[in-house]
Amino acid sequence: MSARGRDFDLYLDELQEKMGICPRLPDGYLGGIDHALTPAEIETRFAAVGDGLESQGFTERAVQALRNAGYDAFRNCVGHIAIRPQNQ
């Protein structure tokens, strides 16, 4: 894995731990969501993770990686990474 990939993993793990959602388990897989959280709490926490990734440039790097792979990728109006369908 590249240094950037490790940077992403470490930062994502840090954010998820801080937000208390889907922490990395000892086996390396991500854990689940605490069922005691309300839908609003889950949404707020996932939005904070997304904002953190955006602030560190990870979102734009993901878009660029997809573009480099030949996809018409972009960050949509709600901040998600999207890909325009290719003509069949």
Beta bridge partners of 81: 75
Q: Where are the domains of the chain?
A: 3-83
For 26-60, what is each residue's pLDDT tens digit?
999 999 998 999 999 999 999 999 999 999 999 99
Query: Which tokens hold the place of 11?
Result: 């930062």
CB 76 within 8 A of CB 47: no
pTM for this model (two decimals): 0.77
Beta-carbon count within 10 A of 19 CB: 18
- DSSP letter at 51 equals H
